[in-house]
Amino acid sequence: MSTTTNTLVARAKSAALALSPVGRSYWQNFTNAVVVYLLVTRALKTHRHLRARGILQTIQDFYRWVLQEAILLALRFPAAKKKMDTELGKARLDIEKKMVPQGPGVTRYLSLPAQGQNSDWILAEMSKMDEQAGEHADWHQGKVSGAVYHGGEDLQKVIVAAYDRYCVSNPLHPDVFPAVRKMEAEVVAMVLKMYNNPSGAGCTTSGGTESIVMAVKAYRDWARATKGVTEPEMIVPISAHAAFDKGAAYMGIKVHTIPVDPETRQVDTKRVARAINPNTILLVGSAVNFPDGCQDDIVALGKLASRYNIGLHVDCCLGSFIMPFLEEAGFPVQPFDFRVKGVTSISCDTHKYGFAPKGNSVIMYKDAALRRFQYYVNPDWVGGVYASPSIAGSRPGALIAGTWATLQYMGHSGYLESCKNIVTAAKTIAHRIRTEIPELRVLGNPPASVVAFAPAHGLSFNVLEVGDAMSKKGWHLNAISNPAAVHIACTRLTVSVVDNFIADLKDAIREAKLAPDGQGTMVMLYGLGKSSPVGSTMVGHVAEAFLDALYKA
């Protein structure tokens, strides 16, 4: 064998030895293994993301992100930043002007009075503040979408009496306030039975958002304890309540947002199935959702949850005391409660169509074992063993008492009658829009109390102009997006003003088409959001200014 050949063979052996784990140091093997692990895990995450979002959507998201970052970078230049700050300052002042009473007759109480005031003075001052509030929607006239779920003057007196009796109570101390503990347990039991899971478990919260956040927390901890999931993900319809995104932000969970069918307004279950992976801890469905009042296919979602052994939360915060009574009231309804295989938790707001005092909701689980993952327990605190079922420690027992009193006062027959009246009003509005107002279309086929309307296919007028025109007529409606639309959530107060609503809506459409104003709140705020890739960021700044104004004394 020639010298050249021997040299080549020797070099090949040396290269092979270098590439072999045997030929490297332990440190080299370790670092290479780490690099391979990082590459594989990153590739796996990318693959899962692409499966959930799709290649086209991922490209669009990335393109939008690049544009957004480029514009935000440009806005950091002094001239652009000055202009942006000036416009945001104007928006802030406009918000404060509308929200904060001003003028020589307005007294601001910024420190404690030297001496306490008597009750007559306090009530008179409250009356004065109501008068100084300026123009605002009067909910008594039934022109407010949702917001005020009033069960009547007699019920209000019952709630006030219950609140007065338990105004100093705190369920954190069940040994001091045993009646409040009993009432809370009974409220949960009544709602569980209403949703066909009397052997399940639950607790009350401060509202729908906390109920949802607690469910998200429970599933995160459940998946970590039972499956070892450390990078949890959840799959949410684009129409689901923002509280799911809020909970995910709080709990460090990745959210995959899935589009809905443009006609049925139900989440695309094929896309949901494609997004499921070993890190998925939770699927979400609504019955009904807030934007358009439609219901997702809970049965199909339940099948997916069962197949992959993951949670399925059904958000009934808005459907609350309407959905469970639809069938008995004679309205069509698709399965949505614990009778559906795969449903593992449901949120229900007692303070909406249950007419309970504001600040009460119920989060329900299929069993007590799942509920335990919601709890926070610290046995080692120096102040003693600390345990609480939800975010709050101390809670107002008076609200629980008011809720218990409300459920007892209304009873099954009261809620059934309420369901009939409210849903009839909503369906009447939907029917009359479809048959009398060709410029509009109703989104989906809402089964309960919410009706959302958008321009009919082929028409391009700005429906938000219609919403602003309705505001001038005293209505307080909700603007939604994707697509741009306006909705009304009917309440007991809406029942008597359906004809007025339709008449005003027809006039508002004519005004919006013939003489669009372009200066209304809906048009300006939601138009800003769609104006550029950074529109949503600007809307976010306006929203922050609104929140700041809430606390300007």
Q: What is the DSSP letter of 350?
A: T
CB 311 within 8 A of CB 305: yes
pLDDT at 186: 98
pLDDT at 13: 54
Tokens found for residue 77: 């230049």
pLDDT at 527: 65
Alpha-carbon gap, residue 128 to 115, rounded angstroms: 20
What's the full length of the chain, in residues? 553
Tokens found for residue 146: 């949702």
- Of 303, 210, 265, nearest to 448 by C-alpha is 265
171, 379, 387 from 383: Cα distances, Å:
18, 10, 12
pLDDT at 11: 59
> For residues 129-161, b (16+ Cβ closer than 10 Å) or e, as one string?
eeeeeeeebeeeebbbbbeebbbeeebeebbee
Alpha-carbon Rg for the chain in angstroms: 28
CB 336 within 8 A of CB 317: no
Alpha-carbon gap, residue 305 to 343, rounded angstroms: 8
Tokens found for residue 188: 């949960």
Q: Which helix (H) or strand (E) holds 458?
A: none
Alpha-carbon gap, residue 390 to 207, rounded angstroms: 11
3-state secondary structure at position 305: helix
- Of 236, 233, 218, 248, nearest to 279 by C-alpha is 233
CB 170 within 8 A of CB 393: no
Q: Which residues contact 516 (CB under 8 A, 6 or more apart)?
A: 461, 462, 465, 523
pLDDT in tens, the chain (553 residues): 556 556 655 555 555 545 555 556 788 878 888 888 888 878 888 888 888 888 888 888 888 888 888 888 888 888 888 888 888 888 889 889 888 988 888 999 999 999 999 999 999 999 999 888 777 777 889 999 999 999 999 999 999 999 999 999 999 999 999 999 999 999 999 999 999 999 999 999 999 999 999 999 999 999 999 999 999 999 999 999 999 999 999 999 999 999 999 999 999 999 999 999 999 999 999 999 999 999 999 999 999 999 999 999 999 999 999 999 999 999 999 999 999 999 999 999 999 999 999 999 999 999 999 999 999 999 999 999 999 999 999 999 999 999 999 999 999 999 999 999 999 999 999 999 999 999 999 999 999 999 999 999 998 889 999 999 999 999 999 999 999 999 999 999 999 999 999 999 999 999 998 877 777 777 767 666 665 666 788 888 889 999 999 999 9
CB 518 within 8 A of CB 479: no
Alpha-carbon gap, residue 426 to 449, rounded angstroms: 5
pTM of the model as a whole: 0.89
Alpha-carbon gap, residue 288 to 331, rounded angstroms: 14
Task: State the amino acid at position 338 in one-letter form.
Answer: F
CB 404 within 8 A of CB 314: no
222, 245, 248 from 257: Cα distances, Å:
22, 9, 12
Instruction: Identify the burial level of 525 via C-beta atoms within 10 angstroms of its C-beta, where 0-12 means exposed, 13-18 middle and 19 or more buried.
Output: middle
Alpha-carbon gap, residue 418 to 425, rounded angstroms: 11
Strand pairing category for 201-205 and 361-365: antiparallel
Alpha-carbon gap, residue 477 to 466, rounded angstroms: 10
Question: Residue 442 pairs with which residues in a beta bridge?
Answer: 453
Alpha-carbon gap, residue 263 to 456, rounded angstroms: 12
pLDDT at 372: 98
CB 92 within 8 A of CB 544: no
Question: Residue 256 pairs with which residues in a beta bridge?
Answer: 235
CB 88 within 8 A of CB 545: yes
- Of 296, 311, 208, 226, nearest to 260 by C-alpha is 296
pLDDT at 475: 95
Q: What is the DSSP letter of 461?
A: -
CB 206 within 8 A of CB 388: no
Alpha-carbon gap, residue 132 to 53, rounded angstroms: 50
Q: Which residues contact 82 (CB under 8 A, 6 or more apart)?
A: none
